[in-house]
């Protein structure tokens, strides 16, 4: 018997045992998550999350008297509905508050650029941090990652002063007033700045898992850095980019604070959420209008989510397994 034949069983047995143990563990996990009990809890959780939205819809089609006197669940014992709430919110408005339909264009004008800008910048930055070897790369990445701990509210006033008055230290003017207050530009810049740390962090973790052999093959074929990004990195990164784009779109669309702060109080650029906040009035009335407006506002995010759902799921699963 040769030396190789003597040591072969010793080396193979632990590997086979480990592989068998992994298969048993995976099979056990599949049995747990595929059991009727797990399915029951999943259905319960889905119902718990759906009931408030369903109650919102029921309230949006009830009359003011029904909303003020009874709960939305009484709709099933005494059904009565009206579409007047939607007509009032979308098309009528008042002399002080315009109809909600006019704010949809403002929200799209804010949300689309505020989603595209951080996605584009973060993709290039993550590509450079993941595949370019330069001095201080790790320090720069950790610094960007640490910026996530800065509260958004802490930066609102300094940014607002920077946009309105420029940057001065003593008598020296480092940056003159930009003259962009009252436009969409401050809102775009603010949303882009607040989204950059998490965007670079997530995309960097995805791009760094691209097989090195693909990058080296592109270089052997004569591709430069930009062509490698366009032909190799970008197609493989679509799921991760789409996943972050969905999160960013939902965040910006549902934002009230940034749009209210940097909008300058102008209704011409105010997003949809500013109008929804005004629907409650100073005394918290008109719940039928608020629920109708809230239900209208969630139509666009839901449509975006379902349109990009396949990319969202692929982005969540990206990097979870190898091979």
d(CA 88, CA 97): 11
Q: Is residue 204 over pLDDT 80?
A: yes
Tell me the three state secondary structure of residue 167: strand
User: Do strands 167-169 and 172-175 pair parallel, antiparallel, or not at all (unpaired)?
Assistant: antiparallel
pLDDT interval class at 315 (50, 70, 90)? low
Backbone angles phi, psi at 66, to 5 degrees: -65, -40
What does each C-alpha distance from 276 to 31, 62, 89 come to in angstroms? 46, 18, 10
d(CA 73, CA 56): 11
pTM value is 0.76
122 or 267, higher pLDDT: 122
CA-CA-CA-CA torsion sign (176, 177, 179, 183): positive
Q: Which of 31-35, 61-65, 113-117, 242-246 has the lowest mean pLDDT?
A: 31-35
Mean pLDDT of the chain: 79
Q: Which of 123-127, 182-186, 249-253 has the lowest mean pLDDT?
A: 182-186
Residue 169: beta bridge partners?
172
Please check whether residue 237 is in contact with residue 203, taking contact to mean a CB–CB distance below 8 angstroms.
yes
Taking only the tens place, the pLDDT of each residue in 60-74 is 888 888 887 888 888
Taking only the tens place, the pLDDT of each residue in 160-193 is 888 877 777 777 777 777 778 888 898 999 999 8
**Is 3.40.50.150 the CATH number for 89-317?**
no
Q: Residue 319: its pLDDT value, please? A: 45
d(CA 305, CA 310): 9
């Amino acid at each position: 018997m040769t030396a190789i034949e003597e040591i072969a069983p010793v080396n193979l047995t632990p590997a086979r045992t480990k592989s068998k143990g992994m298969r048993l563990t995976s099979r056990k996990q599949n049995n747990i998550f595929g059991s009727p009990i797990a399915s029951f809890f999943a259905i319960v959780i889905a119902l718990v999350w759906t009931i408030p939205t369903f109650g919102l819809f029921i309230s949006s089609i009830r009359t003011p008297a029904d909303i003020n006197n009874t709960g939305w669940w009484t709709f099933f014992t005494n059904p009565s509905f009206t579409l007047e709430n939607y007509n009032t919110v979308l098309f009528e408005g008042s002399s002080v508050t315009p109809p909600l339909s006019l704010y949809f264009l403002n929200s799209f004008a804010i949300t689309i650029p505020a989603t595209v800008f951080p996605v584009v910048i973060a993709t290039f930055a993550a590509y450079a941090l993941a595949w370019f070897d330069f001095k201080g790369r790790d320090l720069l990445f950790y610094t960007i990652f640490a910026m996530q701990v800065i509260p958004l509210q802490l930066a609102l006033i300094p940014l607002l002063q920077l946009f309105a008055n420029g940057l001065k230290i003593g008598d020296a003017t480092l940056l003159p007033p930009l003259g962009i207050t009252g436009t969409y530009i401050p809102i775009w810049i603010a949303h882009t700045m607040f989204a950059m740390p998490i965007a670079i962090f997530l995309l960097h973790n995805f791009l760094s898992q691209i097989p090195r052999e693909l990058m080296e093959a592109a270089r052997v074929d004569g591709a430069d850095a930009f062509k490698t990004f366009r032909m190799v990195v970008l197609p493989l990164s679509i799921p991760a980019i789409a996943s972050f784009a969905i999160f960013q779109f939902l965040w910006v669309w549902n934002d009230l604070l940034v749009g209210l702060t940097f909008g300058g109080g102008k209704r011409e650029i105010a997003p949809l959420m500013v109008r929804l906040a005004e629907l409650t009035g100073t005394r918290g009335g008109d719940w039928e209008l608020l629920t109708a407006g809230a239900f209208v506002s969630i139509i666009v995010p839901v449509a975006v989510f379902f349109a990009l759902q396949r990319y969202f799921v692929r982005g969540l699963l990206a990097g979870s397994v190898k091979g």
